Amino acid sequence: MKRLIVLLALLQGDASTEYKERLAKVSRNGAAKHYAIGDYLATAQMHQLAREQFYKAVELDPDHAGARKRLGFKKTDDGGWESDPSIKQEFANRRQGDDAEKVRKSYNERLESAGKDLGRQWSDLGQWCKKNKLEREAADAFKRALEYDPNLVAARKEL
Protein backbone atom coordinates (compact mmCIF):
# COMPACT_ATOMS: atom_id res chain seq x y z
CA MET A 1 0.00 0.00 0.00
CA LYS A 2 2.82 2.37 0.88
CA ARG A 3 4.42 1.82 -2.56
CA LEU A 4 1.13 2.63 -4.28
CA ILE A 5 0.85 5.93 -2.42
CA VAL A 6 4.43 6.85 -3.34
CA LEU A 7 3.80 5.89 -6.97
CA LEU A 8 0.61 7.99 -7.09
CA ALA A 9 2.46 10.95 -5.56
CA LEU A 10 5.21 10.64 -8.16
CA LEU A 11 2.68 10.44 -10.98
CA GLN A 12 0.82 13.46 -9.62
CA GLY A 13 4.13 15.35 -9.43
CA ASP A 14 4.84 14.51 -13.07
CA ALA A 15 1.35 15.60 -14.09
CA SER A 16 1.76 18.82 -12.16
CA THR A 17 5.09 19.55 -13.82
CA GLU A 18 3.74 18.74 -17.26
CA TYR A 19 0.67 20.90 -16.56
CA LYS A 20 2.90 23.87 -15.77
CA GLU A 21 4.77 23.34 -19.05
CA ARG A 22 1.55 23.04 -21.04
CA LEU A 23 0.05 26.08 -19.31
CA ALA A 24 3.17 28.12 -20.07
CA LYS A 25 3.00 27.10 -23.73
CA VAL A 26 -0.66 28.05 -24.12
CA SER A 27 -0.01 31.32 -22.29
CA ARG A 28 2.95 32.16 -24.54
CA ASN A 29 0.86 31.36 -27.63
CA GLY A 30 -1.90 33.63 -26.37
CA ALA A 31 0.56 36.41 -25.60
CA ALA A 32 2.04 36.12 -29.09
CA LYS A 33 -1.40 36.39 -30.70
CA HIS A 34 -2.39 39.42 -28.60
CA TYR A 35 0.97 41.04 -29.36
CA ALA A 36 0.53 40.45 -33.11
CA ILE A 37 -2.92 42.05 -33.01
CA GLY A 38 -1.53 44.94 -30.97
CA ASP A 39 1.29 45.37 -33.45
CA TYR A 40 -1.22 45.53 -36.32
CA LEU A 41 -3.25 48.15 -34.44
CA ALA A 42 -0.20 50.25 -33.56
CA THR A 43 0.90 50.20 -37.19
CA ALA A 44 -2.62 51.31 -38.15
CA GLN A 45 -2.33 54.17 -35.61
CA MET A 46 -5.02 52.78 -33.34
CA HIS A 47 -2.86 53.13 -30.24
CA GLN A 48 -5.50 52.85 -27.55
CA LEU A 49 -6.72 49.51 -28.89
CA ALA A 50 -3.12 48.38 -29.41
CA ARG A 51 -2.25 49.07 -25.77
CA GLU A 52 -5.18 46.91 -24.65
CA GLN A 53 -3.74 44.00 -26.64
CA PHE A 54 -0.22 44.60 -25.30
CA TYR A 55 -1.59 44.53 -21.74
CA LYS A 56 -3.34 41.22 -22.49
CA ALA A 57 -0.05 39.85 -23.83
CA VAL A 58 1.71 40.86 -20.61
CA GLU A 59 -1.11 39.36 -18.52
CA LEU A 60 -0.49 36.00 -20.20
CA ASP A 61 3.31 36.30 -20.36
CA PRO A 62 4.68 38.86 -17.89
CA ASP A 63 8.10 38.73 -19.56
CA HIS A 64 6.88 39.33 -23.12
CA ALA A 65 9.64 41.74 -24.15
CA GLY A 66 7.87 43.15 -27.22
CA ALA A 67 4.67 44.00 -25.36
CA ARG A 68 6.61 45.42 -22.41
CA LYS A 69 8.63 47.67 -24.70
CA ARG A 70 5.50 48.84 -26.52
CA LEU A 71 4.02 49.73 -23.14
CA GLY A 72 7.07 51.83 -22.25
CA PHE A 73 9.10 49.47 -20.06
CA LYS A 74 12.71 48.40 -20.15
CA LYS A 75 14.41 45.37 -18.66
CA THR A 76 16.42 46.00 -15.49
CA ASP A 77 19.74 44.44 -14.59
CA ASP A 78 18.01 42.09 -12.14
CA GLY A 79 15.60 40.82 -14.84
CA GLY A 80 12.59 42.87 -13.81
CA TRP A 81 10.85 45.65 -15.70
CA GLU A 82 10.72 49.38 -15.04
CA SER A 83 9.14 52.35 -16.75
CA ASP A 84 11.36 53.89 -19.42
CA PRO A 85 10.54 57.58 -19.91
CA SER A 86 12.73 57.71 -23.03
CA ILE A 87 10.22 55.55 -24.95
CA LYS A 88 7.68 57.73 -26.71
CA GLN A 89 4.16 56.57 -25.94
CA GLU A 90 1.08 57.00 -28.10
CA PHE A 91 -2.19 56.75 -26.22
CA ALA A 92 -4.89 57.96 -28.58
CA ASN A 93 -6.32 56.40 -31.71
CA ARG A 94 -5.27 58.59 -34.62
CA ARG A 95 -7.62 57.23 -37.25
CA GLN A 96 -11.13 58.60 -37.42
CA GLY A 97 -14.33 57.95 -39.33
CA ASP A 98 -14.34 55.40 -42.14
CA ASP A 99 -10.60 54.74 -41.84
CA ALA A 100 -11.01 53.82 -38.19
CA GLU A 101 -14.03 51.67 -38.98
CA LYS A 102 -12.05 49.65 -41.56
CA VAL A 103 -9.29 49.02 -39.02
CA ARG A 104 -11.82 48.04 -36.35
CA LYS A 105 -13.43 45.58 -38.75
CA SER A 106 -10.08 43.96 -39.52
CA TYR A 107 -9.21 44.02 -35.80
CA ASN A 108 -12.46 42.21 -34.93
CA GLU A 109 -11.79 39.58 -37.60
CA ARG A 110 -8.26 39.01 -36.27
CA LEU A 111 -9.53 38.87 -32.71
CA GLU A 112 -12.23 36.35 -33.62
CA SER A 113 -9.76 34.14 -35.48
CA ALA A 114 -7.28 34.27 -32.62
CA GLY A 115 -10.10 33.61 -30.14
CA LYS A 116 -11.15 30.42 -31.90
CA ASP A 117 -7.59 29.15 -32.00
CA LEU A 118 -6.86 30.07 -28.38
CA GLY A 119 -10.21 28.71 -27.24
CA ARG A 120 -9.31 25.37 -28.79
CA GLN A 121 -5.87 25.42 -27.14
CA TRP A 122 -7.34 26.16 -23.70
CA SER A 123 -9.99 23.48 -24.22
CA ASP A 124 -7.29 20.96 -25.17
CA LEU A 125 -5.44 21.87 -21.99
CA GLY A 126 -8.65 21.36 -20.03
CA GLN A 127 -9.12 17.91 -21.58
CA TRP A 128 -5.55 16.98 -20.70
CA CYS A 129 -6.07 18.18 -17.12
CA LYS A 130 -9.31 16.22 -16.81
CA LYS A 131 -7.59 13.09 -18.08
CA ASN A 132 -4.83 13.58 -15.49
CA LYS A 133 -7.23 14.22 -12.60
CA LEU A 134 -6.38 17.91 -12.25
CA GLU A 135 -9.99 18.96 -11.81
CA ARG A 136 -9.48 22.56 -10.63
CA GLU A 137 -6.98 23.24 -13.40
CA ALA A 138 -9.34 21.65 -15.95
CA ALA A 139 -12.20 23.91 -14.86
CA ASP A 140 -9.94 26.98 -15.10
CA ALA A 141 -8.82 25.99 -18.60
CA PHE A 142 -12.38 25.39 -19.80
CA LYS A 143 -13.47 28.77 -18.42
CA ARG A 144 -10.58 30.44 -20.24
CA ALA A 145 -11.52 28.58 -23.43
CA LEU A 146 -15.02 30.06 -23.24
CA GLU A 147 -13.63 33.55 -22.64
CA TYR A 148 -11.87 33.26 -25.98
CA ASP A 149 -14.60 31.40 -27.84
CA PRO A 150 -18.03 31.50 -26.17
CA ASN A 151 -19.39 29.14 -28.85
CA LEU A 152 -17.01 26.29 -27.94
CA VAL A 153 -19.53 23.57 -27.16
CA ALA A 154 -16.97 21.02 -25.88
CA ALA A 155 -15.71 23.41 -23.18
CA ARG A 156 -19.23 24.43 -22.21
CA LYS A 157 -20.23 20.77 -21.75
CA GLU A 158 -17.28 20.18 -19.44
CA LEU A 159 -18.38 22.95 -17.10
**What 3 state SS string does the chain have?**
CHHHHHHHHHHHHHHHHHHHHHHHHHHHHHHHHHHHHHHHHHHCCEHHHHHHHHHHHHHHCCCCHHHHHHCCEEECCCCCEEECCCCCCCCCECCCHHHHHHHHHHHHHHHHHHHHHHHHHHHHHHHHHHHCCCHHHHHHHHHHHHHHCCCCHHHHHHC
CB 118 within 8 A of CB 148: yes
Helices 135-148, 97-131: crossing angle, 10 deg rounding:
160
Q: How confident is the model at residue 12 (pLDDT cuts 50, 70, 90)?
A: low
Q: Which pLDDT score, from 0 to 100, does residue 13 have?
A: 59
Which pLDDT score is estimated for 122?
Answer: 98
- Which pTM was predicted? 0.85
Cα dihedral sign for 144, 145, 146, 147? positive
Q: What are 75's strand-pairing partners? A: 81
Mean pLDDT score, 99-125:
96
Residue 7 pLDDT > 80: no
